[in-house]
Chains A and B, each alone.
Chain A
Amino acid sequence: MVICIPSGITEVEKRAVRDSAEHAGAKEVYLIHEPMAAAIGIGIDVEEPMGNMIIDIGGGTSEIAVIALGGIVCDQSIRVAGDGFTNDIWDYMRRQHNILIGERSAERIKIEVGSALPELENPPPDFAVHGRDLMTGIPKEITVSYSEIAHALDKSISKVEEAILKALEMTPPELSADIYRTGIYLTGGGALLRGLDQRIALKTKLPVHVAEDPLRAVVRGTGIALKNIGRFKFLIP
């Protein structure tokens, strides 16, 4: 069995994941770090002497990693990702529209009208959300547009941009040269946020590619690792 774990995980936590898997009947458990699995899932040959930058924007963390020769060369991880975006929207609705909504409704808004840019070429239609009016306590409906959500998400997205710039700064120059050509790959659910690829491309002046089916890139890569247990040296036995 191969299990993909967030790269910020401690030794104790690794032990816990391993124990749980063993209790569930697994005999041989290997662990793999998330950016590595994501890169493999995208179809990158991670063992080549070629640098690739992967940005995985998941629920809890955004992980930015430069991978070459079967290893993670440099890595930035910040606790700003999908859940943070959802929380920004929740907070914005409360402050701006005086409406208290549930976490799942906030996530729906993000998926339906979430945007990293205040102006999009193919804008989504406005979205109606329901919650509790903070003044009257009565259920009510509010319609939101993607531009206001872009505004609500701006601060968090800037933090992701900063982390990307930091990771680029830490990258050894030979690998920078590779990344100049290959660009940046986006995976994880956050990669689906409208305009995010464009915004990162504007900021870094690098080509940005969104992985095909970004929510499944990591598991696809973990599946490929499973078939190469004997060969991939970066699997943690």
Chain B
Amino acid sequence: MGLFDFLTQEIAIDLGTANTLIIHNDKVVVDEPSIVAIDRMTGKVIAVGKQAMMMHGKTHENIKTVRPLKDGVIADFDAAEHMIRGMIKMLSPKGSLLLLP
């Protein structure tokens, strides 16, 4: 996780009610809608960002989609934390983003 630690120091995040963006090395590396999909049974996060947005309005009773920020304030703390973590993870060494030129 050493590289990941280093990375988190070097990023800028725009935490918006509609979209969350992350800049790293002067490049926008994350540009995703501010939304998470959660499994109601386990409370686990199923998807973050675009993937969760595709589910929005199409969920069945076991899945809910949550926009953690509403009206410019945090409406759901827990979901907000999951979202921030999920978005930062998108640029972790395991992801492919860093390998892009």
Contacts and interface: CB of A to CB of B under 8 A. Distances in A.
Interface string B75-101: 001001100110011000000000000
Interface of B: 1, 4-5, 7-19, 21-23, 26, 28, 31, 34, 53, 56-57, 69-74, 77, 80-81, 84-85, 88-89
B12 A219 contact: yes
Highest count of chain B CB atoms <10 Å: which of A8, A10, A223: A223
A113 B42 CA distance: 41
Interface of A: 1-10, 13, 16-17, 19-21, 23-28, 37, 58-61, 63, 77, 79, 81-83, 102-104, 189, 215-216, 218-220, 222-223, 225-226
A74 B81 CA distance: 30
A16 B80 contact: yes
A19 B81 contact: yes
A155 B2 CA distance: 52
A13 B69 CA distance: 11
A24 B14 contact: no
Given A19-B81, A222-B23, 18 more contacts: A2-B12, A6-B69, A6-B72, A7-B72, A8-B71, A16-B74, A23-B85, A58-B16, A58-B17, A59-B17, A102-B57, A216-B21, A216-B28, A219-B12, A222-B12, A223-B23, A226-B10, A226-B23
Contact of A13 (B5, B13, B73): B73
B81 A20 contact: yes
Contact of B81 (A23, A26, A28, A81): A23
